[in-house]
């Protein structure tokens, strides 16, 4: 094979190149397939390899290794170059961008349900006068002065009942902070 390469290098001998092509194209293609290339890519890389052999035949030296080694080194390098050029990351088609779920995790959901249950239980333990002002403030959304007007109580009384209710709730649910 080295003599064929030398004939191609010396005078562009087409017959010598044809013999090289027939001997190495199937072997290089097989090599590419074993390296994971699909059939079309393997065929393309085999042709590129032998085209490079045609162009670079003058660079071959039998002192550095056999013709087979030289040809397969070219093939290996072309395969590496192809892999480097291939797109590794491809974005999803439009409107398929992955976004993290905004839903709470199962642990967060369970924790929130347990917390809500404990708060409801604590609210049910409040004295009726304190429970009433808390419900009016947080369920109906009334201000302190609106609660005072609705219950016909002094504003200070509403505020003190609210403060007492907050303190009881805070003490009972301190571990939830």
Same domain, 74 and 6: yes
Which range (27-31, 108-112, 141-145) has the least confidence?
A: 108-112
Higher pLDDT, 86 or 47: 47
Residue 98 belongs to some domain of the structure: no
56 assigned to some structural domain: yes
10: left (phi over 0), alpha (psi -120 to 50) or beta: alpha
Using an 8 Å Cβ cutoff, are 50 and 25 in contact?
A: yes
Q: What is the CATH number of the domain that holds 141?
A: 1.10.10.10
Q: Is 133 left (phi over 0), alpha (psi -120 to 50) or beta?
A: alpha
Domain range for 122? 106-176
Residues 79 and 112 in one domain: no
Mean pLDDT along residues 35-43: 90
CA distances from 140 to 126, 133, 134 (A): 18, 10, 9
Both 132 and 81 in one domain: the answer is no
Choose among 29, 59, 26: nearest CA to 44: 29
Is 152 inside any structural domain?
yes
Residue 94: inside a domain: no
One domain, residues 125 and 75: no
Domain end, chosen from 56, 85, 114, is at 85
Residues 129, 70 share a domain: no
* Banded model confidence at residue 177, pLDDT cuts 50, 70, 90: low
Task: Report yes or no on 157 lying in a domain.
Answer: yes
Whole-prediction pTM:
0.49
Q: Is the CB of residue 165 less than 8 Å from the CB of residue 126?
A: yes
Question: Is 5 a residue whose pLDDT tops 90?
Answer: no
CA distance 144 to 136: 9
Q: How many domains does the chain have?
A: 2
- 70-126 confidence digits (pLDDT tens): 999 999 999 999 888 877 776 666 766 667 778 888 888 888 888 888 888 888 889
In which band, very low, low, confident or very high, does the pLDDT at 46 lie, cut at 50, 70 and 90? very high
Q: Which pLDDT band holds residue 2 (cuts at 50, 70, 90)?
A: confident
Inform me whether the pLDDT recorded for 39 exceeds 70. yes
């Amino acid at each position: 094979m080295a003599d064929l390469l030398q004939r191609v290098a010396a005078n562009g001998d087409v017959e010598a190149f044809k013999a090289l092509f027939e001997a190495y194209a199937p072997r290089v293609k097989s090599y590419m397939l074993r390296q994971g290339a699909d059939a079309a890519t393997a065929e393309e890389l085999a042709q590129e390899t032998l085209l490079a052999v045609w162009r670079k035949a003058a660079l071959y030296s039998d002192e550095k290794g056999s013709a087979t080694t030289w040809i397969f080194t070219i093939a290996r390098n072309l395969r590496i170059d192809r892999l480097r050029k291939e797109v590794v990351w491809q974005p999803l088609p439009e409107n398929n961008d992955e976004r993290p779920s905004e839903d709470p995790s199962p642990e967060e959901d369970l924790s929130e349900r347990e917390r809500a249950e404990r708060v409801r239980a604590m609210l049910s333990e409040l004295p009726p006068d304190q429970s009433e002002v808390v419900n009016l403030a947080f369920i109906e959304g009334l201000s302190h002065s609106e609660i005072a007007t609705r219950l016909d109580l002094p504003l200070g009384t509403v505020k003190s009942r609210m403060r007492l209710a907050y303190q009881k709730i805070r003490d009972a649910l301190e571990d939830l902070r």
